[in-house]
Homo-oligomer: A and B are copies of this chain.
């Protein structure tokens, strides 16, 4: 593998310190680790020598003998996206409570080999790993893995899936209840097909004999503020009578609200807006965003629990028993 350019050429080891202080390596260990049974004078001499040599114990050698802390790898898409930032934060919290240290990788900015690198440094992995089941097997091998936000296939790895059916149904119910009839889904998708969110929304509409309408923003346009604005503009152009917008996520919903506001259209009086995710973001705007809110703490807890059980050998890694669903709940604020 060769010498990595970031670190100094030759490591100074415990033996170097021992030599300089005129003691054995064991005494150095005692001094460095605040262990009892060492003369204060000797200890100072050792510490001094260590300082002079810029000695730092190798975390690998130490881990080899102490077995180290269990370390969890967390793969998120993008921390600049509040969804992932909030999720990561709660994972950090849940994981540290269980004694894990957490290493975070962003698939959006982490570079190509980031996930592969991760494998060498952790005891287990959770997160959004993308879709390729085969590659996951070959990259992670026997490592405990919990896929977050993935489809739950009976043979696949442990999975936590986001389910929108019930919540979208509740949202549509609510919109109908406040008299809305021309309801448009502002959908976003990596393929040319509607997303699962869009599909569930259409189902909820159809089961009430309401015509499902949708704007499908393609993957090459980000589902961000601008994407939301554009989608809302398109929706208004196609259905001028639109009186409710169900949005792919909170950020696009905020974009839609911005567009509406710029046209002097009142939310929720003229057009109601519903987001999905339940980010803290939703309360910074006026009116506050009505949304389908995930319980991030519970979601993180569940995921960390699952991987903890798998890592502890108390649960297998594949199969239908290790799939979990989490659903958001309709949170009615002001925008709908």
Chain A interface residues toward B at CB < 8 A: 1, 3-8, 50-51, 54-56, 58-64, 66-71, 78-80, 82, 85-86, 88-89, 92-93, 96-106, 109-111, 114, 117-118, 120-123, 141-143, 225, 251, 254-255, 257-258, 261-262, 280-281, 283-286, 308, 311-313
Contact = CB atoms under 8 A, between A and B. Distances in A.
Given A78-B89, A92-B106, A101-B118, 18 more contacts: A4-B69, A6-B98, A6-B308, A51-B142, A59-B120, A62-B120, A63-B63, A63-B120, A71-B121, A79-B79, A79-B88, A96-B111, A101-B103, A101-B117, A281-B281, A284-B284, A285-B285, A285-B286
A285 B51 CA distance: 53
A140 to B, nearest CB: 10
Contact of A5 (B86, B111, B141, B312): B312
Nearest to A228: B284
Nearest to A111: B96
A72 B82 CA distance: 23
Contact of A104 (B58, B97, B104, B254): B104
A255 B286 CA distance: 10
A226 to B, nearest CB: 9
28 contacts: A4-B70, A4-B99, A6-B98, A6-B99, A6-B308, A7-B67, A7-B311, A51-B142, A62-B120, A63-B120, A64-B64, A68-B121, A69-B120, A85-B85, A88-B104, A92-B104, A92-B106, A92-B109, A96-B105, A96-B110, A96-B114, A102-B105, A103-B103, A104-B104, A225-B284, A281-B281, A284-B284, A285-B286
- Copies of the protein in its oligomer: 2
B89 A79 contact: yes
Contacts of A93: 106, 109-110
Contacts of A55: 142
By Cβ-Cβ distance, the 5 closest A-B pairs, closest first, are A60-B63, A85-B85, A79-B89, A93-B109, A60-B64
A101 B86 contact: no
Contacts of A98: 6
Given A4-B69, A308-B6, A283 B225 contact: yes
Contact of A6 (B104, B283, B312): B312
Nearest to A72: B6
A101 B4 CA distance: 13
Given A59-B122, A117-B101, A142-B50, A80 B280 contact: yes
